[in-house]
Amino acid sequence: MRAMVLDAPKTPLREADLPVPEPAPAEVLIRVHACAVCRTDVHISQGELPDPKLPLVLGHQIVGTVVRTGAAVGRFAAGDRVGVPWLGWTCGECEYCRTGRENLCDRARFTGYQIDGGYAEYAVADHRFCFPIPQAYPDLQAAPLLCGGLIGYRALRMTGEARRLGLYGFGSAAHIIIQVALHQGRRVFAFTSPGDAAAQRFARELGAAWAGSSLDAPPEPLDAAIIFAPVGPLVPAALRALARGGVVVCAGIHMSDIPAFPYALLWQERAVRSVANLTRQDGEEFLALAPRVPVRTAVHAFPLGAANDALEAVRRGDVQGTAVLVMGDAGATPAPRTAGPPVA
């Protein structure tokens, strides 16, 4: 099978011909149709996350069809379309797993990090950590739901009942979560890199009440903010924008150092918290909700062999929406393809 392989951090992915993997008893073998590209993939490839499996097939937003199942799999059958997220395995035994917090599992393993992922024509995955894909979503439009959507949804839940919501960094996750937030009756304020008029326009097209630079103050105080950009200085900036009792949720797996800031920014019961990974319950809830919104994803398709170009585009912030690798002969699209289930 064709695959794009990371041999060492800070080196380009290598195109390789690898054996098709064999599923273990609890695994399914999946023919990959599409795999969305995440900023976490960039962090892994650049050595910003420690100790990846090497050599490694990146990719943790996989959509494909089950080809074969292991002997212990009763949940899926050949021909089923499934999605594979970042959380690939948990022990089920530690305190976190036993108390509904499997996202914090002591021995968790992650797709495209410790487990080979979806930058390949085939992948294997533990059937317990796969999700049925809503029928209304084509493969390309479903792939971004599996991380940008799932992690964004978990971050959104951490904001509680916040009505005025700031989103810092308007990429893959933000363009999905703004749709969910508006569906819930919230007002959204979008913050982008200074001068990024295209991202600000994209946010307004999706319904943002305001869009501007991350250096600017919003027109009114925020009840909560989610930081998707891996930029530590955005934490004090977001705190300055909060009303009393507000929360800043850091949604990334990696962030540059947060600079010192005066206690006055945190006082009056403001809070800063992080989001780590996801649970299967998050996935089930979000994938049931997405068609009801309905969430529509904007995608830029790249052929598998152009995975390095896709990673670089994500690293530079050149993609409005989500970059998605597609298998077979499909090529890159110069403009986003936006689709989703029909509006009810």
In tens digits, the chain (344 residues) has pLDDT values of 999 999 999 999 999 999 999 999 999 999 999 999 999 999 999 999 999 999 999 999 999 999 999 999 999 999 999 999 999 999 999 999 999 999 999 999 999 999 999 999 999 999 999 999 999 899 999 999 999 999 999 999 999 999 999 999 999 999 999 999 999 999 999 999 999 999 999 999 999 999 999 999 999 999 999 999 999 999 999 999 999 999 999 999 999 999 999 999 999 999 999 999 999 999 999 999 999 999 999 999 999 999 999 999 999 999 999 999 999 743 333 333 444 433 22
Taking alpha carbons only, the member of 185, 221, 217, 188 closest to residue 202 is: 188
Distances (CA, A) of 106 to 56, 93, 102, 111, 153: 22, 9, 9, 16, 23
DSSP 303-337: EGGGHHHHHHHHHHT--SSEEEEE-TT----SS-E
> Diameter of the chain by CA atoms?
59
C-alpha span between 339 and 328 (Å, rounded): 21
Q: Domains (ranges, CATH) in the chain? A: 2-147+278-339 (3.90.180.10), 159-274 (3.40.50.720)
Taking alpha carbons only, the member of 248, 273, 327, 341 closest to residue 3 is: 327
Query: pTM higher than 0.95, yes or no?
Result: no
